[in-house]
C-alpha cells in the first residue's frame, strides 16, 4: 500500500511512520518537498507517488503565531487541507485529517462529542474547523481525527519544555484553569492506523484516556522525572498570550470504542512510558 504522510518532519508524522509495517511504501515529505498551500505542488506530488492513503498531519500548530498571522494560518491549515482533500478526490485516495480540541470554545461542563457544536475562540481553532469543513465537503472516504495536547519523542513539545525548565529553576508557575487530555503520539499513531484499517469513515475523537489540568499534567511530569522543583498553580491571566485558550476541551472517546472497538491507554501510563523512553526516569 502507498501511504503519504504530509508534514513528514512533525512529531506525529514520525510516530505514524514508525508504526507502519515494513512492507508499506511510505512517503513523508517535509514542507520543502510538499508545500500544501499550493495546489499545483500538491497535485504534482500526488501524480508522482499516487498514494492510496493520505495521513494529513501538516499544519501550523503554533497557536499564538496563528493569532498574529491569521492569513498564514488560513493558508496552511484551511487551504492546505482543502488542497490535500482535492488531490485525494482526484486520485481516489482515502484521507485521515488531524484536527484539534481547539475547534470548541471550552465553556462546556461536559465532554465534547463528535456531534458537539464547534465554536472556536482563536484563529488556530477557526482555521482547523475550516479544514474539517473542506474535507467533509470534498470527500466521502475520510477520517477526521480530533485530538489534544500532543507530545512525542521527536521535536519540541510541552513535556520537554517543562522538564527543561524544571531542571533550571526552583519554582514553576503553571496554569490550572485549562483542561484536556495529554495525547502521546506513539499511541495516537497506532490508533490512527487501526482506524484507517477499519474502513468506518467519519469523525472521531482520539486522545489518551482521562484528562487533567495543565498544572496536574506538569505535577505528574515532575513526579515521574523525580525533579526537585516547586510548582505554583496560577490562572491563565498570569501568562497573557496573543491567543485565548479554551478552558475545558476534554474529548469523549466513546464513539471510537463503540464503532472501532478500542480506546487509547491512560494519559498517566503513556506519560510514564514517554519519560522512560526519553531517558527522563
Is pLDDT of 257 > 70?
yes
Q: What is the mean pLDDT of residues 270-274?
A: 96
Active-site annotation, residues: 124
The C-alpha atoms of residue 23 and residue 78 are separated, in whole angstroms, by 32
User: In this structure, what are the phi and psi dihedrals at residue 38, rounded to the nearest 5 degrees?
Assistant: -110, 115
At residue 175, the pLDDT reads 97
* C-beta of residue 252 within 8 angstroms of C-beta of residue 113: yes
Q: What is the DSSP secondary structure assignment for residue 180, as one 8-state letter? A: E
Per DSSP, helices labelled H in the chain are 11-19, 39-49, 63-68, 70-73, 80-91, 123-138, 158-168, 185-198, 214-225, 254-259, 267-277
* C-beta of residue 146 within 8 angstroms of C-beta of residue 103: yes
- Percent of the chain at pLDDT > 70 equals 99
Is pLDDT of 281 > 70?
no
Q: What is the mean pLDDT of residues 215-220?
A: 98
β-pairing verdict for 142-147 and 94-100: parallel
Is pLDDT of 268 > 70?
yes
Is pLDDT of 280 > 80?
no
- Percent of the chain at pLDDT > 90 equals 94
Q: Give the residue among 181, 170, 235, 239 at the shortest CA–CA distance from 207.
A: 181
At residue 132, the pLDDT reads 98
- Provide the whole-model pTM: 0.96
Bridge partners (DSSP) of residue 150 are 183
At residue 22, the pLDDT reads 87
Q: Give the residue among 66, 59, 72, 7 at the shortest CA–CA distance from 33.
A: 7
Amino acid at each position: 500500500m502507498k501511504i503519504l504522510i504530509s508534514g513528514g518532519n512533525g512529531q506525529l508524522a514520525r510516530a505514524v511512520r514508525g508504526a507502519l509495517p515494513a512492507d508499506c511504501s511510505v512517503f513523508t515529505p517535509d514542507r520543502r518537498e510538499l508545500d500544501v498551500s499550493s495546489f499545483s505542488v500538491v497535485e504534482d506530488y500526488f501524480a508522482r507517488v499516487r498514494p492510496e492513503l493520505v495521513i494529513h498531519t501538516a499544519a501550523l500548530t503554533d497557536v499564538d503565531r496563528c493569532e498574529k498571522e491569521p492569513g498564514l494560518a488560513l493558508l496552511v491549515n484551511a487551504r492546505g487541507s482543502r488542497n490535500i482533500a482535492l488531490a485525494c478526490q482526484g486520485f481516489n485516495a482515502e484521507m485521515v485529517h488531524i484536527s484539534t480540541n481547539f475547534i470548541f470554545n471550552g465553556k462546556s461542563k461536559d465532554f465534547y462529542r463528535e456531534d458537539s457544536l464547534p465554536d472556536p475562540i482563536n484563529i488556530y481553532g477557526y482555521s482547523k474547523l475550516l479544514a474539517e469543513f473542506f474535507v467533509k465537503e470534498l470527500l466521502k472516504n475520510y477520517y477526521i481525527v480530533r485530538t489534544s495536547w500532543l507530545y512525542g519523542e521527536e521535536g519540541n513539545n510541552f513535556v520537554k519544555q517543562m522538564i527543561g525548565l524544571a531542571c533550571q529553576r526552583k519554582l514553576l508557575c503553571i496554569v490550572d484553569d485549562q483542561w484536556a487530555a495529554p495525547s502521546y503520539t506513539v499511541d495516537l499513531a497506532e490508533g490512527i492506523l487501526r482506524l484507517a484499517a477499519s474502513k468506518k469513515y467519519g469523525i472521531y475523537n482520539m486522545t489518551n484516556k482521562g484528562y487533567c489540568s495543565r498544572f496536574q499534567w506538569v505535577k505528574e511530569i515532575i513526579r515521574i522525572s523525580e525533579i526537585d522543583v516547586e510548582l505554583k498553580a496560577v490562572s491563565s491571566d498570569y501568562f497573557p498570550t496573543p491567543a485565548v485558550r479554551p478552558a475545558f476541551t476534554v474529548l469523549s472517546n466513546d464513539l471510537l470504542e463503540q464503532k472501532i472497538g478500542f480506546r487509547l491507554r491512560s494519559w498517566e501510563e503513556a506519560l510514564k512510558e514517554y519519560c522512560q523512553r526519553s531517558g527522563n526516569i
